[in-house]
Chains A and B, each alone.
Chain A
Amino acid sequence: MQKILLPITTIWWREIIRFYRQRSRLFSAIAQPLVFWILIGSGLSASFQPSGSVNGLSYIEYFYPGIVVLVLLFTSIFATISVVNDRREGFLQGILVAPVPRWRIVLAQALGGTTLAFLQGVLLLILAPMAGIQFGAASLVFTLSVMALLAFGLTNLGLLIAWRMDSTQGFHAIMNLLLIPIWLLSGAFFPSAGVPGWLAWIMKFNPLTYGLAAFRHSLYLDTTAKVFGEGPAWALSMLITGLFCILTYVGATITASTQTN
């Protein structure tokens, strides 16, 4: 058992310690979403009422869960850039020739990114009352669990990409072309209610739509009020988020297994 856990914990530990020693990463992953939230949230609050919202939900409150998910996305994806750097700097080769199966290497890296993203998400969660969101114990437990799941899935999505890349520039291109749109079209920025049909379909097939819905559901678990209109149901959201975690992890492991440098 120790032989299985030791490599996992040591790779995980290194991900954490590296992040901590490069504090600018810590700051940048949380500052940008925070600025987005305050500027865009406040700006749009005056003019827009989210479609399908009830109880006079303000835009800044609507936008808040989306911003937490953006912090999770940024942190977990940036954490996986370490794979690209490790390959460029030669460190990865040393891990690849060690007697550690790839699924364990990927699991350790995924847990590292998950821990970092989760902790950054918790930092932002402290600001929930500022958005007008109050939650009780049950809600908190569910919220934290969903955050951990989302962080794990997103880190694995990042690993799936990073294990194929040999430059960080390429990684940033993918980030802008794929990951930001996935976030934009998850219901983080605007609800799917009332958007044109084709866009509604894209949002329906976007796995992050369900992740975000699961997050919203758990945030508002204690309030009986239905705070946002049409959206995937709680059970379906959880199911798809869980599946997303499994599929991205399996995908990342397969990708890592085929890489030879």
Chain B
Amino acid sequence: MENRLEVENLSHSYQTRRALNNVSFDVSCGEIFGLLGPNGSGKTTLFRVLSTLTPVTSGTVRILGYNLTTEVKAIRNLLGVVFQHPGLDVKLTVTENLRHHGHLYGLSGKVLHRRIAELLEQVGVSDRATDRVEVLSGGLQRRVEIAKAILHSPRVLLLDEPTSGLDVTVRRQLNDYLRVLADTENILILLTTHLLDDAEACNRVGILDNGSLVALGAPDELKAQVGGDVILIEGEFNETFSTAIAEKFGVSPVLTDNQLRVECERGHEFVRDVVAAFPNEVQTVQFGRPTLEDVFIKLTGNPFL
């Protein structure tokens, strides 16, 4: 069996709107792959196709060697899916939810019982096993949700915005746990996110914009494309100011709302010179190393919202 998820020239349209445009990438087992993109970039459509909910209409998707167009049933056995919207029945207890899920995947009896206990232990919810889900906090519910998704030992785990609504600590714990799963059980993990921190924690990232994949690679590789330093200048200014800076310093600034973004080598010198040259216009200056957000802005010319 192949150990890869391959997407080739995948396109998808809703009536007249094109949600996905010739998207191609592949992911290997043991890898955490992040699909990063702002709202409306096509992440959710791509996720729905991969999770077998939306049929493939154009292009090819192969998951561990199975074709998503013709072998949906085989693929469903391999997948564990965590949806953005909570998928637990709040009127059932934690254990009841997991048992229900296990039965859907043909697990039962002692095997299921042991597996539930083992996973609740792993995600740290053992002491809440008999509580109804409705009394659990958002963070705990998310953990139960992850336990549910990997209960039947899937080879591929798909997560749609898994960290949305969680605080920083819980987000970090979740990302650490996903890393453990990928490393120790060789699970292929694909997640969508609009949070740059989450994307940084992935082995590789695909950046989606308007249905197209605009960048693909390890976070560090992508950031290296930006090159040098990133300087953000805030103040009351317009295109004229932007042009003046471009001419004076030989850079290509990007103007978004009252913010001018400049990429250049030796940023500290640029900061010094720009403040000296335009003391009245410049209000705040931020200086930093490039982030994935800078990659997105460089590639699309749009702010990441």
Contacts and interface: CB of A to CB of B under 8 A. Distances in A.
> A and B, one complex?
yes
Interface string B47-89: 0100111110000000000000000010011010101011111
Contact of B87 (A93, A100, A260): A93
A261 interface: yes
B86 A6 contact: no
Interface of B: 48, 51-55, 73, 76-77, 79, 81, 83, 85-92, 96, 99-101, 103-106, 108, 148
B53 A91 contact: no
Contacts of B55: 260
B104 A95 contact: yes
Contact of B108 (A6, A11, A94): A6
Contacts of B104: 6-7, 10-11, 95, 98-100
Contacts, number: 76
A93 B101 contact: no
Contact of A14 (B53, B81, B87, B89): B89
Contact of A7 (B77, B79, B88, B103): B103
Nearest to B112: A6
Contacts of B101: 94, 98
Contacts of B86: 89-90
A10 B99 contact: yes
Given A18-B91, A90-B85, A260-B54, A97 B79 contact: yes
Nearest to B73: A99
B78 to A, nearest CB: 9
Contact of B106 (A3, A13, A89): A3
A90 B90 CA distance: 11
B106 A6 contact: yes
Given A98-B104, A99-B105, A91 B88 contact: yes
B81 A91 contact: no
Contact of B91 (A2, A22, A260): A22
Most buried by A among B55, B99, B100, B101: B100
Interface in A15-55: 17-18, 21-22
A255 interface: no
B122 to A, nearest CB: 20
B92 A93 contact: no
A90 B85 CA distance: 6
The SS class assigned to the A binding surface is helix
A96 B53 contact: yes
B180 to A, nearest CB: 23
A9 interface: yes
B76 A91 contact: no
B111 to A, nearest CB: 12
Contact of B92 (A2, A7, A14, A96): A14
A261 B105 contact: no
A169 to B, nearest CB: 20
Nearest to B54: A260
Given A11-B104, A94-B81, A98-B101, 20 more contacts: A2-B108, A3-B106, A6-B106, A7-B104, A7-B106, A9-B103, A17-B96, A18-B91, A18-B92, A86-B89, A89-B85, A89-B86, A91-B87, A93-B81, A94-B83, A96-B53, A97-B81, A99-B73, A260-B55, A261-B48
Contacts of B105: 98-99
Most buried by A among B77, B90, B92: B92
A17 B83 contact: no
23 contacts: A7-B103, A7-B104, A14-B100, A17-B92, A17-B96, A18-B89, A18-B92, A22-B91, A90-B85, A91-B87, A91-B88, A93-B81, A93-B83, A93-B85, A93-B87, A94-B101, A94-B148, A97-B79, A97-B81, A98-B76, A99-B76, A260-B48, A260-B54
B87 A90 contact: yes
Contacts of A86: 89
B13 to A, nearest CB: 15
A94 B76 contact: no
A1 B32 CA distance: 37
A21 B89 contact: no
Contacts of B99: 10
A140 to B, nearest CB: 34
Most buried by A among B51, B79, B96, B106: B106
Contacts of A14: 89, 92, 100
A21 B134 CA distance: 13
A30 to B, nearest CB: 21
